Amino acid sequence: MLRPALALMLGLAVCACGAPRPAPDAPAGTTRTAAPLLAGPVIPPGFGDADPHDWNGRAPDSYPVHGIDVSRWNLDVNWHAARAAGVNFAFIKATEGGDRFDPLFLSHVAQAEEAGIPWGAYHFFYWCTDAATQARWFIAHVPRRPGGLPPVLDLEWNAHSPTCTTRPAPDMVRAEAATFLAIVGRHYGQRPIVYTTVDFFRDNALADITTEEFWLRSTAAHPAESFPGTPWVFWQYSGTGRVPGIGGDVSLNAFAGTPAAWAAWHARRAQRRNRSWPRERGGRCPPRVPRSPRDIWGQRMGVNGSFP
């Protein structure tokens, strides 16, 4: 259960346009002067899998840098043990739609930091709430963290949602995604990574988007087969991973490069505390989003693609 003090740190305040104010620029359990998160020495993965796949071609273990992604469903996590077992990064679910906040986000963040694991927060997009509302909800709950990984926009169909199974047209999907990326990217000073699945990628012609960094889910084939011609930065290769220190299944991910490439990518794409961060004080609302999705897709931040 979250301590009241931690909950108050991320309490909502309403600005003049009805949007919540951003979360304080420090993660739960730390201070505003916390040292930047660092990408420590890469530890080779000592992972298992409850349902291992027989890989043809290049397998996940050919990549040296691995990590995990977690949410409220990962109740039992010893982050120090996970780090020792080869967890070099973590993506942690923060928000969903415009009204859901993962109850374990603060706990996972604080413990990941204690274990020296760079983390990034992800938002699960809900197709029955507009993108601007969802972006403001994410900003209200996720602090900017020097050294933290870029935020992530999780794009997939809400197939099991009890309240929203709508599937917008591809042009609407891409426009809404572009709106979210623009608002969130400006606030954190880093363009979000886009996570997606094989079917969603195909259904919405995301291969036409060449200005974003992708985190791709492909649990039965290498991304080169599932997403031909699409560069990627992270590969989610299992949803049934077993990691020492973590009870039950956990999703496993590989970074598309060497330890040196990982250090360079983190140095370039980590959040930074600097004067360019916008100040959201006095009830001032987030900036107006450019009207043209085409213009938004052109606002590239960082380098897209796999790494040597």
pLDDT tens, 152-185?
Answer: 999 999 888 899 999 999 999 999 999 999 999 9
**pLDDT-derived band at 22, boundaries 50, 70, 90:** confident
User: Given this model, what pLDDT does residue 20 score?
Assistant: 62
Res. 287: pLDDT tops 60: no
Res. 9: pLDDT tops 50: no
pLDDT tens, 182-236?
Answer: 999 999 999 999 999 999 999 999 999 999 999 999 999 999 999 999 999 999 9
**pLDDT-derived band at 38, boundaries 50, 70, 90:** confident
Alpha-carbon gap, residue 6 to 106, rounded angstroms: 8
Residue written as tokens 């050919």?
62
Q: At what angle do helices 170-188 and 131-141 cross, to 10 degrees?
A: 30
**pLDDT-derived band at 32, boundaries 50, 70, 90:** very low
Res. 87: pLDDT tops 60: yes
User: Given this model, what pLDDT does residue 26 score?
Assistant: 57
Q: Burial, 75: exposed, middle or buried (Cβ in 10 Å; 0-12, 13-18, 19+)? A: exposed
Res. 72: pLDDT tops 60: yes
pLDDT tens, 74-83?
Answer: 999 999 999 9
Query: Which residues are identified as catalytic?
Result: 69, 156
Q: Looking at per-residue confidence, does 279 or 302 come out higher?
A: 279
pLDDT tens, 98-151?
Answer: 999 999 999 999 999 999 999 999 999 999 999 999 999 999 999 999 999 999
User: Given this model, what pLDDT does residue 296 score?
Assistant: 33
Q: Which domains does the chain have, with CATH numbers?
A: 53-273+287-297 (3.20.20.80)
Alpha-carbon gap, residue 81 to 86, rounded angstroms: 9
User: Given this model, what pLDDT does residue 274 score?
Assistant: 59
Q: 3-state secondary structure string, the chain?
A: CCCHHHHHHCCCCECCCCCECCCCCCCCCCCCCCCCCCCCCCCCCCCEECCCCCCCCCCHHHCCCEEEEECCCCCCECHHHHHHCCCCCEEEEEEECCCEECCCHHHHHHHHHHCCCCEEEEEECCCCCCHHHHHHHHHHHCCCCCCCCCCEEEECCCCCCCCCCCCCCHHHHHHHHHHHHHHHHHHHCCCCEEEECHHHHHHCCHHHCCCCCEEEECCCCCHHHHCCCCCCCEEEEEEEEECCCECCCEEEEEECCCHHHHHHHHHHHCCCCCCCCCCCCCCCCCCCCCCCHHHHHCCCCCCCCCCC
Res. 288: pLDDT tops 80: no
Q: Burial, 16: exposed, middle or buried (Cβ in 10 Å; 0-12, 13-18, 19+)? A: exposed
